Amino acid sequence: MSQLELSMRLRVSQRHVSFVESGRARPSRELLAAWLEELDAPLSLRNEAMLQAGFAPAYSAVPLHDPALSEANRALERLLHAHDPMPALVIDAGWNVLRLNRGARWLAATLVPPAVLPHGGTPFNMIDLLAHPEGFAARVVNLHEVGPAMLAFLRHEAALRPELAPRVEALAALLCSRLGARRLACAPVSGAPVLTTRYATPHGDLAFFSMFTTFGTPQDITLASLRVEHLFAADEATRTLLVAQAGAGSPGD
């Protein structure tokens, strides 16, 4: 975005925008808030910018179990329950898996050896389990299709959250060892309308595509960091198996 476009959106002069950017002028709290809104900055970054400018943080960051987030928690639980037996999981900004529904627990136990998967409800990191030699990626049949796309997506996330970079590059090393640098860099273009991941399991191949749900207008950093990943069966065989293995009832998709 050019300084001129930004100044028009903020209803201030381009000269003032230039002075703020160069440190020759300090923005007011209102201008800084509007500036960060126009740039669609993450809420955590907005708080950091407010503190650096000498202002109080604009957004709360309460733990997920805090009573203030009770209704949001109920919404998350309803989403997970309604999607059963199709897998669904709650992930935070660091790709830590905070909650799983019945279908997701069954799928994780099916794809990952018991020694690799954490026990006792301990949260695990999705990128770490993808990068583990015996993790999720080991079961992906069409890794040459989904691996490069997955890595590009996660590298984009790491550009916004640098703390993810070591985990993402560990995954890149695994994919490079299995696909080769050339195949990893030149992903085939699928003709399908949505990218499907296919897993080899003792029950036969399973195929899923995914969607993400986020809070529409979060005003808390914790809620803004959360997303629910919903896995949908990409074929009838997968749907039938999940209904049989992960519990009777509506497949939720």
Report how far apart, in Å, the C-alpha atoms of 116 and of each of 34, 106, 134, 206 are.
46, 15, 7, 21
153-195: pLDDT as tens digits: 999 999 988 999 999 999 999 999 999 888 787 766 666 688 9
Residue 225, pLDDT score: 92
Q: Report how far residue 129's alpha carbon sits from residue 145's, in angstroms, rounded to the nearest whole number.
A: 19
User: CB of 147 within 8 A of CB of 174?
Assistant: no
DSSP string of 149-191?
A: HHHHHHHHHHHH-GGGHHHHHHHHHHHHHHH-HHHHHSPPPP-
User: CB of 82 within 8 A of CB of 252?
Assistant: yes
Q: Report how far residue 237's alpha carbon sits from residue 141's, in angstroms, rounded to the nearest whole number.
A: 16
Q: pLDDT at residue 144 above 80?
A: yes
Q: Which residue has the higher pLDDT, 220 or 119?
A: 220
Please give the model's pTM, rounded to 2 decimal places: 0.83
Q: Report how far residue 222's alpha carbon sits from residue 206's, in angstroms, rounded to the nearest whole number.
A: 33
46-77: pLDDT as tens digits: 999 999 999 999 999 999 999 999 999 999 99
Q: Give the start-to-end residue ranges of the domains of the chain.
A: 3-52, 67-245
25-52: pLDDT as tens digits: 999 999 999 999 999 888 989 999 999 9
User: CB of 208 within 8 A of CB of 234?
Assistant: yes
Q: pLDDT at residue 13 above 90?
A: yes
Q: How is domain 67-245 classified at the CATH fold level?
A: Beta-Lactamase (3.30.450)
97-140: pLDDT as tens digits: 999 999 999 999 999 998 888 876 677 899 999 999 999 999 99
Residue 252, pLDDT score: 43
Residue 160, pLDDT score: 83
Q: pLDDT at residue 145 above 50?
A: yes
